[in-house]
Chains A and B, each alone.
Chain A
């Protein structure tokens, strides 16, 4: 990745992070931790790889994204608004009655959302189905899926893992947001995942593990995954829960936190280095 691309993506990620902190703050709080840890991966997917059209969100040959950890919707909403799928004003309505932006992703409410998710473990199966459907239609579209590390406690994740490699779904690329924190505590204290990369390897996936906040590493891993001819790909992302949001970063409690717009602005100031200005 050249310097300019890196700078462009870094600036975009910063904007997305700020917009997301503010939109969650406007609703009095929410799933800040798991929304911050996936900013870089969603940024590089939408601003570098995914073929989508904000003017025609349902077009059949688009790439798909299933955010199986559906509570991370707010980050995705910031990106979709920035790309023009809907008005940026919507971001101030997050989680309010009648909103089109519920805490968990809803394909029927939000333009650009490909699958309704929120009951953990279900989205990867849907992504497998989409990958099968696109292949049946002989479309070259890709399906991207994002699962959580805590979500990986769900048995259905491993049912889906088995089936994706069985069906040789090279058009499916999944990411695990390995931020090491679940709701009740550290993931491995709640229920040990042991060697997560070995698990995916043994399930027949092309598996990589990279720094989920490094655009260079993300780009290399996604390029390799796209070149994989006959297996689904898993990219395990080492991430920091709450990344970039001062009061949430690295904290178990960041899974779902109450905070005000004032606190959000303070976090934004710290993030931009303009605190106290």
Chain B
């Protein structure tokens, strides 16, 4: 995969990584629902016209066709906006793909606040919550292009359905090019002893790192975990850092119920009750605005993360 540049827009890194995989595996096919241009998969249609299917604005049919293709041994990557991939076609993805134990990879783009100018109708704050209820599913939200490039081939190789949550137009790079990632294993971005920040995705992982810097300036040592695989969750890392630091804060570009925060709370609640707080959209619908405006509106900023940690540390004491 090293021939795939990580400096490009995330959608281009996604497509180039898929192209690289498709050169080696003729079973990889791509589907879109009239968002081929928006999701940046056009290059796949040009390179493999027989293996790419744009079905028009018919997401339910796209997921059904992907399931049928999978039933003949293909490995379909079907993409649409995260709001449609989850809310709109949940039953199709649940039954035709997952319940049927097929091998469909569903890509949800522009999740949460990254939907920016498309606004509230397109702002998926609940896709992780929905997907997390599906037995045996793999859910991945890479925080940057390096991790996307590393994790996508692992998702392709692992048999079973997956939901992958990525941005389209930004070009996030937070890791060194040579960094490796393992599906299902949290990446420890920063070790720490006083509190743990568990974050996912391109919006919150960088804010979590910034928050750790703010905390450091106040003499607080915060660990930061990039939980790129939300399902199956790396319970070992969650428990280890809960024990080590005694307070856990989760950060997600999603509503606080049902997503990463809930996943972590479920593990800690049952196995090691630990004070925690959750950063994310809290009881609110999406809305239109710039990324910066929306991050402020939903409290998805380093400052909010740092102050939540400070509050949490008081509870810990």
In the bound complex, residues from chain B placing their C-beta under 8 Å from that of A66 are: 68
In the bound complex, residues from chain B placing their C-beta under 8 Å from that of A163 are: 55-56, 58, 61, 65
B95 within 8 A of A: yes
User: Most B CB atoms within 10 A — which of A107, A127, A133, A167?
Assistant: A133
- A115–B68 touching, CB < 8 Å: yes
A134 within 8 A of B: yes
Query: Which of B191-247 touch A at CB < 8 Å?
Result: none
In the bound complex, residues from chain B placing their C-beta under 8 Å from that of A116 are: 95-96, 99-100
A193 within 8 A of B: no
Q: List 30 A-B contacts (CB under 8 A).
A: A60-B72, A107-B101, A115-B68, A116-B95, A116-B96, A116-B100, A118-B95, A119-B91, A119-B92, A119-B95, A123-B64, A125-B60, A125-B61, A125-B68, A125-B92, A126-B67, A126-B96, A128-B64, A132-B53, A132-B68, A133-B69, A133-B72, A136-B51, A156-B60, A160-B65, A162-B56, A162-B58, A163-B55, A163-B61, A167-B53
In the bound complex, residues from chain B placing their C-beta under 8 Å from that of A155 are: 60
Whether A128 touches B100, Cβ cut-off 8 Å, given contacts A119-B91, A133-B73, is no
Task: List A residues at the B interface (Cβ < 8 Å).
Answer: 60, 64, 66, 107-108, 114-116, 118-119, 121-134, 136-137, 155-156, 159-160, 162-163, 167
Task: List B residues at the A interface (Cβ < 8 Å).
Answer: 29, 50-51, 53, 55-56, 58, 60-61, 63-74, 76, 91-92, 95-96, 99-101
Whether A136 touches B50, Cβ cut-off 8 Å, given contacts A122-B95, A129-B67, A159-B58, is yes
Complex: chain A residue closest to B97, CB-CB: A126
Complex: chain A residue closest to B63, CB-CB: A125
Distance, CA A125 to CA B68, complexed state (A): 7
In the bound complex, residues from chain A placing their C-beta under 8 Å from that of B100 are: 107-108, 115-116, 126
Beyond the given A126-B100, A133-B73, please list 11 additional residue pairs across the A-B interface where CB-CB is below 8 A. Answer: A60-B73, A107-B101, A115-B71, A116-B95, A122-B91, A126-B67, A129-B65, A136-B50, A159-B58, A160-B65, A162-B56
Q: Is the interface of A mostly helix, strand, loop or mixed?
A: helix
In the bound complex, residues from chain A placing their C-beta under 8 Å from that of B29 are: 136
4 closest pairs, A vs B, by CB? Answer: A129-B68, A125-B64, A133-B72, A159-B61
In the bound complex, residues from chain B placing their C-beta under 8 Å from that of A131 are: 68
In the bound complex, residues from chain A placing their C-beta under 8 Å from that of B92 are: 119, 122, 125, 156
In the bound complex, residues from chain A placing their C-beta under 8 Å from that of B96 are: 115-116, 119, 122, 125-126
Q: Is the interface of B mostly helix, strand, loop or mixed?
A: helix
- B65–A132 touching, CB < 8 Å: yes
- Least CB distance from A87 to B in Å reads 23
Contact of B74 among A107, A124, A128, A133 (CB under 8 A): A133
Distance, CA A222 to CA B275, complexed state (A): 67
- Least CB distance from A163 to B in Å reads 5
Complex: chain B residue closest to A134, CB-CB: B72
Contact of B61 among A64, A108, A160 (CB under 8 A): A160
Distance, CA A159 to CA B96, complexed state (A): 15
